[in-house]
Structure 1
Amino acid sequence: MRQPNLPAGGSCRCFATTFEILVTPLITLACHCLDCQRMSASAFSLTAIIPADGFRVVEGMPVARPLPGSPRHHYFCPSCMTWMYTKIGGADARVNVRPTLCYDSSWVEPFAETMTRDKLTWAETPAVHTYEAFPSPAEFEELLAKFSDWSAFG
């Protein structure tokens, strides 16, 4: 995987809300869950997980629209409603950014894919690791270490 040129800037569809990724992602993922299929109107969503202090909104004020009872807080541009990033309950130290919103998204490649039990039969990714559900916390920590090695030499 190529590394993004940092800071990696990006925006929503209407350019009213912009952001910067300031550090190398912790990992990149493709999620095939039904929620991501519906949110992205596609076969899966792509995510770059970034330490919270390595991500900042430059312009605009994204609005959170969590589903009742859900630990996932999805943030959207208030003007065009582009899904920009997600924060998950107790994981406030990380931000799940939609990396294809970066002005240069040529570096984006999923290292792992999750929720393949919901995967559309024709959907394919180049992911190195595949999980039928979400990885356990221990598996996820192992994935982070493997991604670091993979992205440094990929």
Structure 2
Amino acid sequence: MAEWTAQMELGPMEGGCRCGRVRFAISAAPLFTAVCHCTGCQRMSGSAFSTTICVPVDGFAVTQGEPVIGGLHGDESRHHHCDWCKSWIFTRLPPQMPFVNVRATMLDDARWFAPFMETYTSEALPWAKTGAAHSFATFPEMEEFGPLLAEFAGR
């Protein structure tokens, strides 16, 4: 978290898809960081889990290109990809959830990233261990998010 704070003092963090056609900036501190082990994220990311930096909606902006919706297309969540290289860049959630889940691996420099929590460990590959401070078999209950956000902010 200290590395994130140092980066924010220099200005927004930036990132983009593999080919560079879609670029974004994060200008607000994350609410939390996480990985998701669900089989959907495994298939979308082509890995053991997906990485997430949860940022307020007003702290995220696409600065170049036009992402397209792929993966989840519904009212609950929408996965945004580059139409050219197909990189999964971020996920927008329903309007009542005022944040964006940005794939940490899409940052220009993601070395600071460490998951604070991991979700869907019930579907995790047996060897996939992250060292996250909090683990949940599915998603945390809504009443657990307040204390989790406060703990993350205090780090």
Partner of 1:86, secondary structure, is: strand
Query: What is the Cα deviation at residue 67 of structure 1?
Result: 3.5
CA distance in 2, matches of 1:100, 1:12: 9
CA distance in 2, matches of 1:66, 1:121: 25
CA distance in 2, matches of 1:27, 1:68: 24
Q: Which residue of 2 aligns with 1:60?
A: 65
CA distance in 1, matches of 2:138, 2:3: 27
Q: TM-score, normalised by structure 2?
A: 0.91
Between 1 and 2, higher relative CO (CA 8 Å, sep ≥ 6) is seen in: 1
RMSD over aligned Cα, in angstroms?
A: 1.4
CA distance in 1, matches of 2:96, 2:114: 23
8 Å contact 1:3–1:24 — kept in the other structure? no
Query: What is the Cα deviation at residue 64 of structure 1?
Result: 1.5
2:147 aligned with 1:142, yes or no?
yes
Runs of 4+ with >3 A deviation = 66-70
Q: TM-score, normalised by structure 1?
A: 0.92
Identity %: 43
Q: Which runs of 5+ in 1 are unaligned?
A: none
Q: What are the superposed Cα offsets for residues 109-128 of structure 1, whole Å, 9 maximum, x if unpaired?
A: 00000110001100010200
Q: How many residues align?
A: 150
Q: Which runs of 5+ in 2 are unaligned?
A: none
Which residue, out of 99, 103, 110, partners 2:115? Answer: 110
CA distance in 1, matches of 2:39, 2:48: 9
